[in-house]
Amino acid sequence: MTDTIKLDVIKVQQPIGLIYVVKIDPNYLLQMSKVDRRRIAEEDEVLGIQRELRDDKVKQIKSYLSSIDATFPNSIIVNTTSEFVKNETEDSIELIVDDTTFTIIDGQHRVEGFRDNEKNNFELIVAIFKDLKIDQQANIFSTINSQQTKVDPSLNLNLELSSKYYTPTKMLIEISQSFNFDSNSPWFNNIRVLGSQTGVSPKGIISLSAFVKPLLNLTFPEKDYYEIRNQLVKAYPEFPPFDNLNYKPDRYLFWEFYKRKDFESLYKILYNFFSAIQIYLEKDWLNEDSLLNKTTGYNAQIKLFQELAKTGYDIGDLSYNFFYEKLKPIKKMNGSVNSSNYGASGFKASNELYQDMKKTLANNG
């Protein structure tokens, strides 16, 4: 006897035709789905509508699913064909359970995130089309993935500020904003803290997102974000001790400061470093024609900071004088941090600048 599944439906009529909106257990959806991925057939004909599955994106979703308040409120979009419809009424549809019952049009990464990752009390909203032609499916996929407006990463970070949970991200956003608004700061008025989608022209050389991201990389492994947040949620309004999370200080220097909620010390350490480097590279500092304060140069600076901070941490000195003395040789590079010497942008340019900075310090004048 053929296995079937009966689903309650809300039928929605749209110009393309009828859509069956249902809720379904992720395991059933995995069991009944295939993905029509793009591939090369004979004579180089391109078939299929979906991109290749990205393992990093699936891992990110699996990590997110570990959070206490995980949610996917938007629907997975699939197509089925009449041959799989066993019975249909005004408020239900009965489908044959087969590994090709559904073709996933949109949401393959969300669905794949549940594979070997069973979650209790988690149902998915699914919009089912019936008997769509392949060109119609491709058009839906193309429209969804080309017309969506991406949220500005800096706006996303600003939204985290409204959270009642003091995540490492929230602390580092506050530190970044302090650099922007402190009139004595080397970065005064040069971090675009409001992003680009606020209706106001952003001011500053570097975005909030670009400023915060490398600092987060010095605080905790990205994979642990939801573990940290879960502990914050469970302990609220207290602040958890994070006893099970012990990171090496030479790699995650900022973690211990976060555990102590020591905003002031961390801000002061970064302030010391930036103030010292500003002195020696004054021709490039906050110069729109230089790369130094743009994402390329900033990433190189943070790499250099990590290198120096390892030494400072070991000897218990992360003062302004420590950075000022260590950075003295870098004054040789003053006025040279530009696209003519390092390219316009990107990892390669940033790494070349960092290597030159490191080499200059090693030669020590």
Domain boundaries, the chain: 4-147, 153-363
Predicted local confidence at residue 284, as pLDDT: 96
Predicted local confidence at residue 195, as pLDDT: 53
Predicted local confidence at residue 333, as pLDDT: 96
Enter the tokens of residue 186. 């080397």
Q: Are 94 and 5 in contact (CB under 8 A)?
A: yes
- Cα 81 from Cα 103, distance rounded (Å): 9
HSE at residue 102, side-chain half, CA atoms within 13 A, is 25
Give the DSSP H/E element, type plus range, for residue 156. Answer: helix 153-160
Collapsing DSSP to helix, strand or coil, 8 comes out as: strand
Enter the tokens of residue 339. 């696209």
Chain-centre distance for alpha carbon 222:
9
Taking only the tens place, the pLDDT of each residue in 47-58 is 455 456 788 888
pTM of the model: 0.77
Q: Which of 98, 121, 125 is nearest to 111 (CA)?
A: 125
Q: Which of 137, 153, 133, 134 is nearest to 77 (CA)?
A: 137
Give the DSSP H/E element, type plus range, for residue 46. Answer: strand 46-47
- Cα 119 from Cα 85, distance rounded (Å): 28
* Residue with the larger pLDDT of the pair 318 and 52: 318
Enter the tokens of residue 34. 């295939």
Residues, the chain: 365
Predicted local confidence at residue 147, as pLDDT: 58
Taking only the tens place, the pLDDT of each residue in 112-163 is 999 988 888 899 999 999 998 887 887 887 777 665 556 567 667 777 888 8
Interior CA angle at 300 toward 296 and 305, to 5°? 145
* Residue with the larger pLDDT of the pair 43 and 103: 103
Predicted local confidence at residue 46, as pLDDT: 37
In the block, residue with structure tokens 């500092």: 285
Enter the tokens of residue 101. 């019952």
Render 208-257 in DSSP notation, one character per residue. Answer: HHHHHHHHHTTTS-GGGHHHHHHHHHHHTTS----TT----TTT-TTHHH
Enter the tokens of residue 119. 């979650």
| pLDDT tier, 301 (very low <50, low <70, confident <90, very high otherwise) | very high
Taking only the tens place, the pLDDT of each residue in 326-355 is 999 999 999 999 988 997 778 899 999 999
Q: Are 293 and 205 in contact (CB under 8 A)?
A: yes
Enter the tokens of residue 12. 């929605």
- Cα 174 from Cα 263, distance rounded (Å): 8
Q: Are 224 and 168 in contact (CB under 8 A)?
A: no
Could you say which DSSP state residue 152 is in? P
| pLDDT tier, 2 (very low <50, low <70, confident <90, very high otherwise) | low
Distance separating the N- and C-terminal Cα atoms of the chain: 83
Taking only the tens place, the pLDDT of each residue in 208-246 is 999 999 999 999 999 899 999 999 999 999 999 999 999
The type of residue at 320 is Y
Q: Is 245 left (phi over 0), alpha (psi -120 to 50) or beta?
A: beta
